[in-house]
């Protein structure tokens, strides 16, 4: 384990409404030297399924993503920072942003606060504090303003590292544009590539890695990586995603990943999809939680 990660109590910073400005100021400095960002989100699962006729399984998967991202709200965002060699900044390496989210069952509940009970149970068992999210969570519109001017998005020299990340980037595109996702997948990718010009999805990279299989934790175990923090929390998952990317880059790609083949591809969507990757019959829980 790198020396920068020896003190596990300091490396993941919890961010709420009270300290989001201060922490984003720090991130604006860190991104100048550590421009590889491993990212993960937590969200309330899958609650609806599209109906009608679809051109292909791939089209169905995007419409499934679109209708759920449009209805639901992001709960957590984890960002972990590394340089091009996979080294971490001294001290804090990971920021876990906790957004406003209301679980209260009342007559005034909004569509944005809908959720899958199975997903919420999983997140609660993983330590998410939903009462604190309701009272102290970050406003997503304000966070979008901070993110837009942070130097993290709209920058070709920033590399985004992720794992099975269609939904993750769906929520980020929704957050940044403050509107519904486009009806057509190719339009979604145009917007995605504008905000995030360089994306590497570890799950997609695995297609070229013999014997690597499964969700993030299973892959990390195969790569003999040690998790820091708790599974199914965005900060810990983002950090493990970054570790997996650089270990795979070394072991399977000789430290040289072909951008033409891998950059900008999301597993299960568009050019990152094959017909048998995500069947239409797959369950809600599989869609949202098997990635970890």
Per-residue pLDDT tens over the stretch 162-190: 999 999 999 999 999 999 999 999 999 99
Confidence (pLDDT) at 7: 56
Spell 169-200 as b/e; 16+ CB within 10 A means b.
bbbbbbbbeeeebbeebeebbebbeebbbbbb
pTM value is 0.88
Task: List, in sequence order, every beta strand (DSSP E) within the chain.
Answer: 12-15, 36-42, 76-82, 94-98, 159-162, 198-201
At 244, which CATH number? 3.30.420.10
If residue 161 lies in a helix (H) or strand (E), which one and from where to where? Answer: strand 159-162
Q: Name the helix (H) or strand (E) containing 98.
A: strand 94-98
Smallest Cα–Cα separation from 98: which of 77, 126, 119, 73?
77
What pairing do the DSSP bridges indicate for beta strands 94-98 and 159-162? unpaired
CA distance 234 to 93: 13
Q: Tell me, what's the pLDDT at 272?
A: 63
The confidence score (pLDDT) of residue 142 equals 98
pLDDT tens profile 238-292: 999 999 999 999 999 999 999 999 999 999 998 765 443 333 433 334 445 457 7
Residue segments in the chain with a per-residue pLDDT below the cut of 50: 1-4, 106-109, 111-112, 274-287, 289
- Could you give the number of structural domains in the chain? 1
Phi/psi region, residue 270 (left: phi>0; alpha: psi -120 to 50; beta: rest), is: left
* Residue 130: per-residue pLDDT: 80
pLDDT at 106: 43
Print the domain residue range for 145: 3-289
């Amino acid at each position: 384990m790198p020396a920068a990660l020896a003190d596990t109590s300091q490396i993941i910073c919890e961010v709420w409404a009270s300290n989001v400005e201060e922490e984003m100021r720090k991130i604006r400095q860190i991104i100048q030297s550590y421009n590889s960002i491993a990212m993960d989100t937590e969200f309330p699962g899958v609650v609806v399924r599209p109906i009608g006729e679809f051109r292909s399984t791939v089209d169905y998967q995007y419409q499934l993503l679109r209708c759920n991202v449009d209805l639901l709200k992001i709960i957590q965002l984890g960002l972990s920072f590394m340089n091009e060699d996979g080294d971490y900044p001294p001290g804090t390496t990971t920021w876990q942003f906790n957004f406003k989210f209301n679980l209260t069952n009342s007559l005034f509940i909004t569509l944005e606060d809908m959720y899958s009970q199975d997903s919420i149970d999983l997140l609660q068992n993983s330590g998410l504090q939903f009462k604190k999210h309701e009272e102290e969570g970050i406003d997503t519109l304000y966070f979008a303003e901070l993110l837009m001017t942070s130097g993290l998005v709209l920058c070709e020299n920033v590399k985004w590292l992720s794992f099975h990340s269609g939904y993750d980037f769906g929520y980020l595109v929704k957050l940044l544009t403050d509107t519904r996702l486009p009806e057509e997948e190719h339009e979604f990718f145009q917007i995605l590539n504008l905000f995030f010009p360089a994306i590497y999805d570890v799950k997609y990279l695995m297609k070229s890695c013999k014997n690597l299989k499964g969700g993030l934790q299973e892959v990390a175990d195969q790569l003999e990586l040690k998790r820091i923090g708790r599974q199914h929390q965005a900060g810990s998952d983002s950090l493990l995603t970054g570790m997996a990317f650089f270990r795979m880059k070394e072991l399977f790609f000789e430290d040289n990943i072909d951008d033409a083949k891998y950059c900008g591809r999301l597993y299960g969507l568009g050019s990152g999809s094959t017909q048998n990757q995500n069947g239409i019959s797959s369950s809600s829980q599989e869609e949202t939680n098997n990635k970890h």
